[in-house]
Amino acid sequence: MSEGPLVLPPVRLLPADDLARLALAVPLLDRALRLTRWATPERPVDAMGELLDDDLVAAAAELGLPVDEDEEGLAETAQAWGVAVDTGLLVLEIDEEAEESTPAGEVAGRALPGEAYERITAGLPQDVLDIWLAAAESALADAAAPDFESLREVMDDGDQVLLDELDWDPEKEAEFLDSALVNLYALMAVEDSAVAEDGPDAVPLPVLAASLVVPDEMDQPSDAVLEEVTEVMMRLDDHFRLLATTGLLDYQPVDEALIEEAEGDGEAGSFPEFPEGSGGAVGDDLDPEEVSRYGMVLLTPLGVHGMRERLVDAGAQAPAIGDLAGGSGVDLLEALTGYPDQAARVEAELWLEDRKPADAARELLAAARGDDAGAPGRRLICQQTLTLLGAEAEPALREVLDDRVLGGLARVWLTESGAADIPAPDADMVFWLTIDTLAAQLAADDAPEILADLVRDLVARHDGFFDAAWRVDHPATADVLEAMGRLHPDRKSAKDARKAAFKARSRQGLSG
- Do residues 387 and 416 make contact, with C-beta atoms less than 8 angstroms apart? yes
pLDDT tens for the 512 residues of the chain, in order: 345 688 898 999 999 999 999 999 999 999 999 999 999 999 999 999 999 999 999 999 999 998 876 688 999 999 999 999 999 999 999 988 888 888 888 999 999 999 999 999 999 999 999 999 999 999 999 888 876 454 444 444 455 544 454 566 788 999 999 999 999 999 998 776 556 666 678 999 999 999 999 887 777 878 888 889 999 999 999 999 999 999 999 999 998 888 777 666 544 344 444 444 344 444 445 677 788 889 999 999 999 999 999 999 999 999 999 999 999 999 999 999 989 888 999 999 999 999 999 999 999 999 999 999 999 999 999 999 999 999 999 999 999 999 999 999 999 999 999 999 999 999 999 999 999 999 998 888 766 777 888 888 888 888 889 999 999 999 999 999 999 999 888 899 999 999 999 999 998 776 65
Same domain, 114 and 199: no
Same domain, 249 and 370: no
State the burial class of residue 478 (Cβ atoms within 10 Å of its Cβ: 0-12, 13-18, 19+): buried
Same domain, 259 and 381: no
Domain region containing 251: 167-305
Asked if residue 1 is part of any domain, the answer here is no
DSSP secondary structure, 281-303, as one string:
S--TTS-HHHHHTT-EEEE-HHH
Amino acid present at 397: L
What's the confidence (pLDDT) of residue 511? 60
Task: List, in sequence order, every residue forming a beta bridge with 320; answer none if it has no partner.
Answer: 11
- Do residues 50 and 78 make contact, with C-beta atoms less than 8 angstroms apart? yes
Reduced to 3 states (helix: H, G, I; strand: E, B; else coil), residue 487 is helix
Same domain, 271 and 389: no
**Residue 222 CB contacts under 8 Å (≥ 6 apart), including other chains:** none
- Looking at 95, 124, 153, which one is the last position of a domain? 124
**Residue 410 CB contacts under 8 Å (≥ 6 apart), including other chains:** 365, 397, 398, 400, 401, 403
Asked if residue 337 is part of any domain, the answer here is yes
What's the confidence (pLDDT) of residue 29? 97
Same domain, 399 and 277: no
CATH of the domain at 39: 1.10.10
Asked if residue 339 is part of any domain, the answer here is yes
3-state secondary structure 120-185: HHHCCHHHHHHHHHHHHHHHHHHHHCCCHHHHHHCCCCCCCCCCHHHCCCHHHHHHHHHHHHHHHH
- Looking at 124, 159, 188, which one is the last position of a domain? 124
Asked if residue 11 is part of any domain, the answer here is no
Closest C-alpha to 481, from 459, 462, 460, 461: 459
Asked if residue 323 is part of any domain, the answer here is no
Cα-only R_g, the chain: 30
Same domain, 425 and 299: no
Report the distance separating Cα 240 and Cα 249, nearest Å.
8
Reduced to 3 states (helix: H, G, I; strand: E, B; else coil), residue 96 is helix
Asked if residue 63 is part of any domain, the answer here is yes
- Do residues 340 and 329 make contact, with C-beta atoms less than 8 angstroms apart? no
Order of strands across the sheet that contains 203-204: 203-204, 296-299, 249-252
Asked if residue 286 is part of any domain, the answer here is yes
Same domain, 190 and 255: yes
DSSP secondary structure, 224-282, as one string:
HHHHHHHHHHHHHHHHHHHTTTSSSEEEEPPPHHHHHHHHHTT-TT--PPPSTT-TTS-
Number of structural domains (the chain) is 3
